[in-house]
A and B are shown apart, each in its own frame.
Chain A
Amino acid sequence: MSRIQACVFLMLSACLSDVVHGQSVSEKIPADPQAVIVKLFGAGVGNLDSYGTGVLVSKAGHVITVANHLVSTGFLTAVTLDGRRFSAETIATSTEFDLALLKLKTDGDEEFPFMDPALAKDVAPGTPILAYSNMFRVAVGNEPVSVVHGVISASIPLEATQGRWKFPVKSPVWLIDAITNNSGAAGGLLTDESGAPIGLIGREIRQASSRTWVNYAVPMTVLKPVIAGMLEGRKLETRPRDADLTAMLTDQEMTTRYGLTLLPSVIERTPAYVDAVVPESPAGRAGFRRGDLILLIGDSVITSVTDVQKRMAEYRPGQKMSFTVDRDKELIALDLTAGQGGNGR
């Protein structure tokens, strides 16, 4: 039997008998990593996916995932290995660690299998790994997620971007020699061959200077105290630290606060087209529609997505923002009230 097979076999057999594994591997390691993975489904934004992955970290149904667009748009559904569906709410997010903590809504005192972040293992480059994720949404319902094998290539600080967004984690991350970071893979689990958690699979992003796609995971040892803090309900730093992001709303904030998503700001002068409007959100109720081109906010002329993000950050909560949009060659006036924390500092 091959080592990978042996490993998967051990994971499965441990599932059947706790005794088998007692001596060599901690009993607390989830018998089958598949059992602690949830498939996440939510709202897609532009070319970003409407699905993702999460890892159960408490018996009560807390789930960690990447703090990406999926989390910020809300309306998340999580599907467990046995095919049950739960709606999930965001409890805490950490921009600094690109991490979000969700809680599955349950009727009563349901108990979930979970991965204890305290078991996070530090490994060296060269360590063989298995990556579990809902990439490409291949698995649905009660199907197990995809497993990819590979090796840790390096531990390095990562400089990477996604549109205007910059990868915020300052600690070194694991670089992986397999294509782990696919659509929907963010929030998946990286384990060693014994099933011990070693990282949380990150986003589908490109390295800043070479523009190549990077396959990375944030080490679980780095996330361990952050998760612990979130589970204890400690206040966390959630504002982006990056100086040039402070004077403007982020894409995530636009979506969370107003339900308004513009085209991803990939070039400096990306026209301010509305890409998506969450129904029943403030933007939805104000009458925004997909395809609207924002021309004015108040008296300010808007020429790009960035203009919108900057201008909207200038309003204080409760203030009325008057938009003028072009919809099929017709000018339409729409009003939106600045929301909580609308002042971008």
Chain B
Amino acid sequence: MRIRWAILGVLILQCIPAGAQQSLSERERARVETIQRISPSVVCVMSSSGDGGGSGVLISADGLCISNYHVTSGSGNFMKCGLNDGRVYDAVIMGIDPTGDVALIQLLGRTDFSFARAGNSDFVKTGDEVMALGNPFLLASDFSPTVTYGIVSGVHRYQYPANTFLEYTDCIQIDASINPGNSGGPLFDISGTWIGINGRASFEKRGRVNSGAAYAISVNQVLRFVDHLRAGLIVDHGRTEFTVETSDADEVRISQVSELSEAWRRGLRPGAVLLSFAGRQLTSANEFQNILGTFPEGTRLPFSWRDDGGVHSATVRLGPLHSFQKAPELPAERRPPRPDQEQPDSGETPAVAEDELPEEIRKLFVEKDGFCNFYFNEQQRLKRIKPLRVRTESVGSPEATWKVRFEMEGTTPAVTGELAIGPKTIGMKLGDTAWLQQVGDPKAEEEPPGMAGLLIAMNQLRRLFSADTAAFGEITAFGSTVHLPLARELQILLSREGIRTGRWYFEEEEVLPVALDLEYETGIDEVRLVFENWKDWSGVVFPERIGIVNSTTEEISWLRVSDAVRQD
């Protein structure tokens, strides 16, 4: 074997012109250095009792680690993780994305972990050299990762769920060896930039070993979910309320549209040709599925279509795909491998039951329906809510009414109006017309035309500022998204109150929200508001400008606040 390789080596060298030999050895040295640099970020993930196993990759100094859902799903809520320093760290599950086969865990005990730097997987091309690092066959007892090398065999691949809910969309196909145990481990490009998570391979008649066709979840998809995962969620993927098919003319044709959907209200009808989705041009229904699968539920995405009336564009919010309330079960063949059954338990990794873990670790997991680990959601929520409450404390008086005078920008003569946001009623006067709404029983028909939902939204804003914890049925951290039309990545707090779902958008470092999207009734467009320049008025914290997004045109019309006072 060794001789054959030596001969091959000589032959290869002979094929290469003399000048290239230097660069070949330079390349080898660079590769060796790269592997040394990235290896500390590669994690061997085991269950808390030390059996089962897969791989993972550290993405932050405080120990956040991405792996596959099918790796962590059998490991319980706590696991043991080995790094290439030979040490074993305790870890706790944070969030899961069962459909995308992604899980986020946190390694404990250090704040200076080495971590991988993410690249942009949209730039990955067929033919690029790649390296897969991980723990195939659970080989390394000292946790130094196994490195396999290959090229990108294809990009934008789609792999069907195949007897499960695990769907690989828009993934990177590679010919580097991927074997059981590699799952969850990172895929790097040749310069050591993290571009994917190795999770699946085409296994067939030759058994569950490398077949030269493996698939990595793109890092761009993973990053879209990572803030959701940090919030302890069972993150769902999205669906549209219309379906598509590839037509004979190789166009993506709309086959069905729900009449209660946002897309229908924007004018999308069966027979129209879908031209782009999420900013990507489409040539097949498969491609649409590919793009759709890379976004979490609730994401608002732009799309364009063509019909008899010409070319149109609009945005839609993705609805939930599976709505898992608990972590779903996987079929046995998708579970991580176990160490060689014939080998007697060496006892090197002590089996620890969860109740034997120290209290400071055990408290990092809180079970709650609809969440993977409610502890982390609570942390994220408090991080947002606490400063918000401190900031709005002065206006928190339950009996106070806020009186806000405003002017509609761009109207001549200027149209002025007044809002009265009180504990029992919300009222608005615009010119000679007035609207009044009961706080406890808001009705969609009581909303001013052209600004539908504004009163209910003011009702919700008052609740957000209220110190009363029962103001919402539920308020949770919900990750982050690129807000439209602001086109900025913002953090989300999700509030629920009756049938009303509010998405409050925050800049990472700011206390008050920059936007609110509120679904307040089925079959009616959300009210979408943008807040600018929060200011302390006379006892009221209120923005200087409120933008109302027109869902048909995606344009913002502005109300300029001229005065706001508190009346106790």
Contact = CB atoms under 8 A, between A and B. Distances in A.
Interface in B208-255: 210-213, 246, 250
B204 A141 contact: no
A234 to B, nearest CB: 37
A108 B73 CA distance: 56
A165 interface: no
Nearest to B129: A2
Interface stretch (A18-26, A70-78, A132-140): A132-140
B566 to A, nearest CB: 62
A182 interface: yes
B307 to A, nearest CB: 23
A138 B202 contact: yes
A179 B283 contact: no
A324 B11 CA distance: 61
Interface in B183-220: 190, 202, 204-206, 210-213
Contact of A2 (B7, B190, B210, B286): B190
A87 to B, nearest CB: 15
Interface centre among A124, A183, A204 (most CB of B within 10 A): A183
Interface in A100-159: 124-128, 135-136, 138-149, 151, 153
A178 B212 contact: yes
Contacts of B152: 147
Contacts of B7: 126
A136 B211 CA distance: 10
Contacts of B190: 2
Interface stretch (A4-12, A55-63, A220-228): A4-12
Contacts of A149: 150-151, 175
Contacts of B129: 2, 4-5
B32 to A, nearest CB: 15
Interface stretch (B34-42, B153-161, B319-327, B379-387): B153-161
A10 B173 CA distance: 21
Interface residues of B, number: 38
Contacts of A127: 15
Contact of B27 (A2, A179, A213): A2
B212 A182 contact: yes
A180 interface: yes
A128 B213 contact: no
Given A143-B156, A147-B127, A126 B175 contact: no
Given A138-B173, A178-B175, A4 B127 contact: yes
A144 B173 CA distance: 12
Interface of B: 4, 7-8, 10-12, 14-15, 27, 125-129, 150-154, 156-157, 159, 173, 175, 190, 202, 204-206, 210-213, 246, 250, 283-284, 286
List the 8 shortest-distance A-B pairs measured between CB atoms, nearest first: A126-B11, A8-B127, A179-B212, A136-B202, A146-B153, A148-B175, A149-B151, A2-B129
24 contacts: A4-B127, A4-B151, A8-B126, A8-B127, A9-B127, A47-B205, A83-B250, A83-B283, A125-B8, A126-B8, A135-B202, A136-B202, A138-B154, A139-B154, A141-B284, A143-B156, A144-B154, A148-B175, A149-B150, A149-B175, A153-B4, A153-B8, A178-B175, A178-B212
